[in-house]
A and B are shown apart, each in its own frame.
Chain A
Amino acid sequence: MATETVKKKKVRINGCVASAQAAKYADVDVITAYPIRPYTATMIALAQMVANGELDADYIVADSEHSQLSIAHGASSSGARVFTGSSGVGVQFAYELYSPISGTRMPVQMMIADRTLDPPGDFGSEHTDALSTRDMGWLMGWSCDAQEAFDNHLLGFRIGEDPRVLLPQMVCQDGFFVSHITTDVELPDTGQVKEFLPPYKHPYPLDPRRPVSHGPQIMPEQGPPLQLERARAMEGAVPVIEQAHEEFAKIFGRKYDPWIEEYMTSDAEVVFFLQGAHGVTARYAIQHMRQRGAKVGLVRLKTIRPYPTDRVNEVLSKFAVVGVVETNLALGSVSSGGVLYAEVCGALYESAKRPLVLSFMAGMGGEAIVLKEFYWMTQKMLDAKKRGKIEKRTHWVGFEE
């Protein structure tokens, strides 16, 4: 049974259900599930849709996340549109498969609702789970609310399945802050989705009528051209991503910058740089700080792979101080804090006018970053601006005066 026709309508759903709805609208063929909070709610919703006959898909309860991803790999290799997902340590359990899936150029889509890694057992959202896979050849970005999540799933299929790209996608959302917060989401008409998202057609599927061999053993000298090809696919995705966002705006009426969202930056001196749901709180904090005269703004990174290096350089070079809000853990890294600091500094190295960069370890363990903490971080950035240099690279927010 094909997907039921649903006229464009507003519903109140959380991020997990928005992701499930997107998979339904994309008319996925194979779904692979394995339970782990908080992303489970997506698979619960999809199970019900399949049971109700709203979506015709093979819904497979895998025996582990490793199996989940390899079932997805096998199904995508055969020509099916595949949807999977995970959270936290589940993302890690499947780690082996990320490189083979992108290496064989299979556009599997994976929904991530972030969860802190063990130890200790913690349900809270931290971006470390997905970020630890960031260099495996998957397109990757964070949504800040349920609507954006829904849209990013459709965009992900469109971009990843484009024959010029053929790469898997990790469509990430913060656990709980997006996955379990109910908001208004506009669901499109199926006709709009059909117009935007053509059927998946891999050029070389496992088809007995056109035999191909996938993933044979290579000699070391055959490695460089293959790796270069994968690197070029990632770079080649850039114009496809931009084109897809333009067409998305035309068809659905929602216009996104695919790389960066800027909020109150036109006259800002200091800015936050972050990904995902904490951007919502940051906007409110910025409004409050603005009332007190602080020229603060927000730069939210929307796509981290491929990383918009030049764009980050161009945007952040305008400011005096950048405060990176990490929400992830990179122990012993460049800043001894999070992953994003090095990504920001790397992009800024070629800038003629480098801002000061601070790394804020906030929202760790999935704790909410409250307004008070945003005020405190703003003050640290203003202090650095005044002093003309940073006090230190990394601040653990909540542990300092």
Chain B
Amino acid sequence: MPAIEVQRQMLPMFGSPNQGARFYNPELPQTEPFVPGHRTCAGCGPSIQYRMTSKAAGDNTILVGPTGCMYVANSSYLCTPYNVPWAHTQIGSAGSFTAGVAAAYEAMIRKGKWKGPFPNIICEAGDGSASDIGLASISGALYRNHDCLIICYDNEQYANTGIQASSRTPYGGMTTFSPPGKMVPEAKTLFPKDLARMMAAGHPHCYVATASVGYPIDLMNKVRKGLNHKGAAYMMIYTPCQKGFVYETPRSIDLGRLVVECGLYPMWEWDPAKREFDYSFRPGSMRPVSEYLKLQGRFGHLHAEHIATLQKFANAQWKMMGVELPDALLWAADAKNLSDMAAADEAVAVALTV
């Protein structure tokens, strides 16, 4: 029996005069593969992302959910927010389980056991799964180039288990595994793993992009580009966590913009055809990191020198993207010009609210 050719669908891009604009876009599909009624926190960044992603993908979609908030808080037995097929997998199995789904559809369509266009296969892995325990499984799936999109919804911590540091937790970020104290006033001493770049560098045949919930149209277009790409695609998406970052609930989208405006979350795409990074995304304004940090309890313990360290880190990211630094940002990288966030004692009080 001759092999049956696998048909693939192509999703159109959403038009928008300004990628960062927040306005009603009439092109958005009505479909809601991820419906309300789940148990995530008010203002939950990952679930806002989940809705945007699944809306962009549409109904011919299969979702894979490794253990994390988007498993535990979303899927409650006998009640499910997923209007498309969804499967839980182990936290370390993000890439591998997804690869299995993709391989099954390749084989079943080819052998005439399943008829229809190849489904969108999307894995929603938290940063703990994506940057730590499931890193090898995701690398394996990208390397083997299964036709799927693997998303790291990056809330910069293990949030589901009660806010522990992951290798995506930023320098200075307080978590229950990286608390500030006399010996470690800055709390987390390590800088985050440059995860998306690592994936682009190691798997250059894949479409790789970073995105943020602050820029919904950009995020959804990148999801569609990733799905349209024949082969594996990877996205790392900034999704603030109100519970772990300790901020006012309605400010999730604001944080999603500020993190980009402060240079702490570079937005880029890796073009697998040209084999180059596209750094053309520019936020509406550039700001010092303190404007982002001061909204979050997790940075409440930082001293001037730590804020300066983070500003230097942000400035390096701007340079990497080819952006010329305004004097204000150079000035903000000098601890002499900055003031402490709070005293260490107060930081402990903040920690108790986590």
Contact = CB atoms under 8 A, between A and B. Distances in A.
**Among B106, B111, B136, residue most surrounded by chain A Cβ atoms (within 10 Å):** B111
Nearest to B144: A60
Interface in B128-169: 136-137, 139-140, 143-144
A382 interface: no
A60 B146 CA distance: 10
B100 interface: yes
Given A74-B64, A211-B83, A213-B87, A1 B1 contact: yes
Contacts of B108: 29, 78-80
A206 B87 contact: yes
B101 A67 contact: no
Contact of B103 (A75, A209, A213, A217): A75
Interface in B89-145: 89-90, 92-93, 95-101, 103-108, 110-111, 113-114, 116, 119, 136-137, 139-140, 143-144
B222 to A, nearest CB: 22
A211 B71 contact: no
Interface string B221-235: 000000000000000
A71 interface: yes
Given A56-B110, A211-B82, A216-B80, A75 B88 contact: no
Interface in A51-88: 56-58, 60-64, 66-68, 70-80, 82
Given A213-B86, A216-B76, A70 B3 contact: no
A108 B62 CA distance: 20
A75 B77 contact: no
B75 interface: yes
B103 to A, nearest CB: 4
A217 B113 contact: no
Contact of A29 (B86, B107, B116): B107
A56 B106 CA distance: 11
Contacts of B82: 211, 213
A30 interface: yes
Contacts of A219: 76-77
A239 interface: no
A22 B143 CA distance: 29
Contacts of B100: 30, 32, 60, 70-78, 82
Contacts of A205: 85
B61 A208 contact: yes
A67 B3 contact: no
Contacts of B339: none
Contacts of A56: 3, 107, 110-111
A199 B108 CA distance: 12
Contact of B136 (A61, A64, A74, A82): A64
B104 A66 contact: no
Contacts of B111: 2, 29, 56
A324 B105 CA distance: 46
A206 B82 CA distance: 12
Nearest to A60: B103
Contacts, number: 176
B48 interface: no
A267 interface: no
B137 A1 contact: no
A145 to B, nearest CB: 31
Contacts of A217: 71-72, 75-77, 88
A212 B95 contact: no
A240 to B, nearest CB: 23
Given A56-B111, A208-B61, A222-B77, A74 B137 contact: no
A1, A66, A72 pick with most chain B CB within 10 angstroms? A66
B75 to A, nearest CB: 3
A16 B90 CA distance: 30
A62 B96 contact: yes
Contacts of B87: 74, 77, 104, 206, 213-215
A213 B113 contact: no
B156 to A, nearest CB: 23
B59 interface: yes
Contacts of B86: 206, 211-214
Contacts of B136: 63-64, 67
B328 interface: no
B99 A74 contact: yes
A206 B85 contact: yes
B60 A208 contact: yes
Contacts of A29: 104, 107-108, 111, 113
Contacts of A209: 116
B84 A75 contact: no
A208 B103 contact: no
A214 B88 contact: yes
Interface string A184-220: 0000000000000001000001111111111111110
B78 interface: yes
A97 interface: yes
Contacts of B72: 217
Contact of A73 (B1, B59, B89, B105): B89
26 contacts: A2-B1, A30-B103, A30-B107, A60-B99, A61-B144, A66-B137, A67-B96, A67-B136, A70-B100, A74-B64, A74-B96, A77-B87, A78-B62, A79-B113, A100-B90, A206-B62, A206-B87, A208-B59, A208-B60, A208-B116, A209-B116, A211-B85, A213-B80, A213-B87, A216-B77, A218-B77
A-B complex: 10 closest residue pairs judged by Cβ atoms: A74-B100, A216-B75, A63-B140, A70-B93, A215-B88, A80-B104, A78-B104, A67-B96, A75-B100, A214-B87
Given A206-B87, A207-B114, A217-B75, 6 more contacts: A30-B104, A60-B100, A74-B99, A75-B103, A77-B104, A78-B104
Interface of A: 1-2, 29-30, 32, 56-58, 60-64, 66-68, 70-80, 82, 96-97, 100, 104, 199, 205-219, 222
